[in-house]
Amino acid sequence: MPRPIIIDTDPGQDDALAILLALASPELDVRGITCVAGNVPLALTSRNARIVCELAGRTNVLVYAGASAPLERELVTAEYVHGKTGLDGYDLPEPSMPLAEGHAVDFIIETTMDSAPGSLTLCALGPLTNLGQALRQAPEIGPRLREIVLMGGGLFEGGNTTPSAEFNIYVDPEAADLVMHCGAPVVMIPLDLTHQTLTSDAIIADFRAMPNATGPATAGLLDFFERFDVEKYGSQGGPLHDPNVIAYLLQPDLYGGRHINVEIETGSALTRGMTVADWWRVTDRTANVLYLRNVDVAGYWQLLKDRLSQLP
Ligand code: RIB
Ligand code: CA
């Protein structure tokens, strides 16, 4: 029985590859894709999600527009990383599939309440605004979810948006705080892990050589996406963050971590959006998160290549 999931996302090249991985995997039943403002404004993230679905040949996927701004703060975007469209790097046609009727937040609430308790997984790849809004409107969805698996935060790797904050959490720290205490099992995939899953010329060449349309498109998106991080970190390649969320669902044995307490800084301007992760368990605060720090990097890339090679 395929595992029902909702993907909440701000595409973004790395989000795009996560969506492709999910759509290429029969183990998963993508009930819908809910878009949020983040890497680029909502009009573009909701455009980009449909472009990716069409690339995968899946025009039947329900794609909803959601929050255009964080719960309490001004929107911060990341065109400097993702380009002005959010999907720079490979020319893909404008989407012909329409957005689904209704708001993403309502879809999250209704789908959770219509699903059997403990059956639906929410995969969060961007700022957590949609989920935060849904939890404000219907707090009962938290304990009803099977799991929330999110890319966000960091401890040992610091931050990528400020010295102490990762982008997804920085953009909407209030939403992240709601998620940390919502009653669902939370799995956090932070920069401490995603900074290990770096692209490389060989990996990009493998995608470029694929005989389908998805491979070369993936290579173009990766080429563009990595340039900022290569300059910033001086590394061989850029960290491919978001597909780790889907890879974790497909092959959890590739990952390792520990149950710890994670709190979100929402008061300080200096450390706004910091994930205060008690990895060494120096407090008696409740362990509310499975914080993943280890990944089988070769296994991650093999899974991604195997699955994306099966798409159109
Ligand atoms: O900090 C990396 C995260 O922020 C990724 O999800 C990327 O797509 C951006 O949303
Ligand atoms: Ca993202």
CA distance 259 to 262: 9
CA distance 293 to 30: 26
Letter string b/e over residues 33-52, b meaning 16 or more CB atoms within 10 A of that residue's CB: bbbbbbbbbbebbbbbbbbb
Cα of 282 to ligand 2 centre, how many Å?
A: 31
Whether the pLDDT of residue 132 is over 80: the answer is yes
Element (H, E) at 43: helix 42-55
Cα of 49 to ligand 2 centre, how many Å?
A: 11
For the chain, which domains are there? Answer: 3-308 (3.90.245.10)
Q: What is the DSSP code (8-state) at residue 165?
A: B
Q: Span 138-164, mean pLDDT?
A: 98
Could you tell me which residues come within 8 angstroms of residue 13 by beta carbon, excluding any fewer than 6 positions away? 82, 86, 87, 88, 89, 221, 222, 224, 225
Cα of 168 to ligand 1 centre, how many Å?
A: 6
The torsion of the CA quartet 294, 147, 32, 55, rounded to 10 degrees, works out to 10
Residue 241 beta carbon below 6 angstroms from any ligand 1 atom: yes
Task: Report residue 303 as tokens.
Answer: 């899974």
Residue 243 beta carbon below 6 angstroms from any ligand 1 atom: no
CA distance 46 to 140: 27
Task: Based on the residue annotation, tell me whether 259 is a catalytic residue of this protein.
Answer: no
Strand partners, 260: 289
Residue 229 beta carbon below 6 angstroms from any ligand 1 atom: no
Q: For all residues of the chain together, what is the average pLDDT?
A: 97
Q: Which ligand sits closest to the CA of 77?
A: 1
Catalytic residue among 82, 181, 195, 241: 241
Give the length of the chain: 312
Atom 2, ligand 1: residue with shortest CA distance: 167
What pLDDT score was predicted for residue 307?
98
Q: How confident is the model at residue 293 (pLDDT cuts 50, 70, 90)?
A: very high
Could you tell me which residues come within 8 angstroms of residue 114 by beta carbon, excluding any fewer than 6 positions away? none
Q: Span 108-120, mean pLDDT?
A: 98
Q: Span 59-75, mean pLDDT?
A: 98
- CA of 166, closest atom in ligand 1: 1
Residue 12 beta carbon below 6 angstroms from any ligand 1 atom: yes
Task: Report residue 58 as tokens.
Answer: 């899946």
Give which of 59, 62, 70 is closest to 36, Cα–Cα: 70
What pLDDT score was predicted for residue 289?
98
Strand partners, 29: 4
- CA of 15, closest atom in ligand 1: 8
- CA of 39, closest atom in ligand 1: 10
